[in-house]
């Protein structure tokens, strides 16, 4: 889980896509952008040349170059010095424009990476903002099997030996898709979005006791696996408790929420016992979650119906 991003790493990751060329400041390839630096509103991760609130990656377009050309020599030198003193991760010139000699020299002297791209400014801004935000977003690894069930991301959790992998295998055979087994990684890419992915080492693999490690893509085809999915529900397998007379729990089920990074994710508890079809129960749990997300709660509707029935039966 990277906590920082180096200028050289950013250049290697986006160099081909943005057709970047490194003009000056190669000595600043190890310049680092820390994860915590993107939390404040200003400066931004990427933006057009800004001297007052310097962005982490400064984009130099035609308007910015024209503005610099309109300054007198001393003011221009002071502005360039101020830009370099803010220690941006990199400067990027747009549309393959010619780089002014003083800008190149100042970048070399300060060790500030200076790149040029044929892309327009708004294209660079969108791609850089997205890539930087995603690369430095908070991440966590959770234990369980992450799947796509009825189009939503579901994390199956529970103690070891309760049959999470066997349940996942049966769900795959019923047409649902595997995202990651054992150690899915979740990234908070937006205030209300957790994106789940599989570590490269575990891609397409599912381990089932007695069968060992299986490649789901090879066994079931490309449609049986999914690259990533947003986490919407946790189904937690628990050992079946002793029989209870708690009537309300039987009506409403066992559900609560679990905090993952900054989000509260709904959790549905499924007791594991002999004779219970966990695949059918998991599918039903997902369908129930979808109904609740639409504002329809069968348990609440039943309680309201029961209350109305009792009121009708009371003497006037």
What is the tens place of the pLDDT at every residue in 73-108?
999 999 999 999 999 999 999 999 999 999 999 999
Higher pLDDT, 34 or 291: 291
Q: What is the pLDDT of residue 219?
A: 95
Active site residue 69: no
Catalytic residue, chosen from 4, 120, 209, 250, is 250
Q: What is the pLDDT of residue 160?
A: 87
pTM: 0.73
The stretches of the chain forming alpha helices (DSSP H) are 7-18, 62-69, 73-85, 101-110, 121-135, 164-173, 216-220, 247-252, 278-293, 298-313
Total Cβ atoms within 10 A of residue 84? 20
Q: What is the pLDDT of residue 262?
A: 86
Active site residue 182: yes
Active site residue 250: yes
Q: What is the pLDDT of residue 243?
A: 60
Catalytic residue, chosen from 31, 38, 176, 182, is 182
C-alpha span between 215 and 205 (Å, rounded)? 5
pLDDT band at 173 (very low <50, low <70, confident <90, very high): very high
Angle subtended at Cα 148 by Cα 145 and Cα 152, rounded to the nearest 5 degrees: 120
> What does the DSSP 8-state code read for residue 98?
P
Structure tokens at 212: 């060992």
* Contact (CB, 8 A) for 163 and 278: yes
Catalytic residue, chosen from 42, 143, 227, 306, is 143
CA distances to 62, 107, 231, 298 from 266, rounded to whole Å, are: 49, 50, 10, 17
Q: What is the pLDDT of residue 39?
A: 47
β 114-116/21-24 pair status: antiparallel
If you average pLDDT over every residue of the chain, what do you get? 89
Q: Where do the domains of the chain lie, and which CATH numbers do they carry?
A: 4-135 (3.40.1390.20), 139-307 (3.40.50.300)
């Amino acid at each position: 889980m990277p906590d920082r991003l180096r200028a050289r790493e950013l250049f290697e990751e986006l160099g081909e896509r943005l057709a970047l060329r490194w003009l000056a400041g190669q000595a600043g390839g190890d310049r680092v952008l820390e994860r915590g630096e993107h939390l404040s509103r200003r400066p931004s991760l990427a933006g057009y040349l800004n001297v007052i609130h310097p962005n982490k990656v400064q984009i130099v377009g035609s308007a910015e170059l024209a503005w610099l050309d309109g300054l007198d020599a001393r003011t221009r030198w002071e502005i360039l010095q101020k830009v370099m003193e803010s220690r941006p991760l990199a400067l990027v010139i747009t549309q393959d424009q010619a780089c002014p000699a003083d800008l190149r020299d100042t970048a070399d002297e300060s060790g500030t990476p200076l790149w040029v791209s044929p892309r327009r400014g708004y294209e660079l801004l969108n791609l850089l903002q997205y890539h930087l935000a995603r690369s430095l977003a908070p991440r966590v690894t959770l234990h369980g099997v992450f799947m796509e069930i009825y189009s939503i991301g579901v994390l199956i959790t529970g103690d070891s030996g309760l049959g999470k992998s066997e349940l996942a295998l049966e769900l795959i055979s019923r047409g649902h898709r595997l995202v990651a087994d054992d150690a899915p990684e979740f990234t908070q890419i937006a205030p209300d979005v957790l994106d789940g992915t599989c570590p490269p080492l575990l891609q397409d693999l599912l381990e089932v006791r007695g069968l060992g490690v299986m490649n789901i893509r090879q066994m079931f085809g490309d449609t049986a696996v999914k690259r990533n999915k947003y986490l919407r529900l946790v189904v937690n397998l628990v050992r079946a408790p002793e029989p209870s007379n708690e009537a309300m729990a039987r009506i409403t089920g066992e559900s609560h929420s679990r905090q993952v990074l900054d989000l509260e994710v709904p959790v549905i508890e499924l007791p594991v016992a002999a004779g219970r079809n966990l695949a059918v129960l998991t599918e039903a749990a997902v369908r129930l979650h979808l109904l609740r997300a639409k504002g329809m709660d069968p348990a609440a509707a039943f309680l309201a119906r029961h209350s109305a029935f009792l009121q009708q039966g009371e003497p006037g």
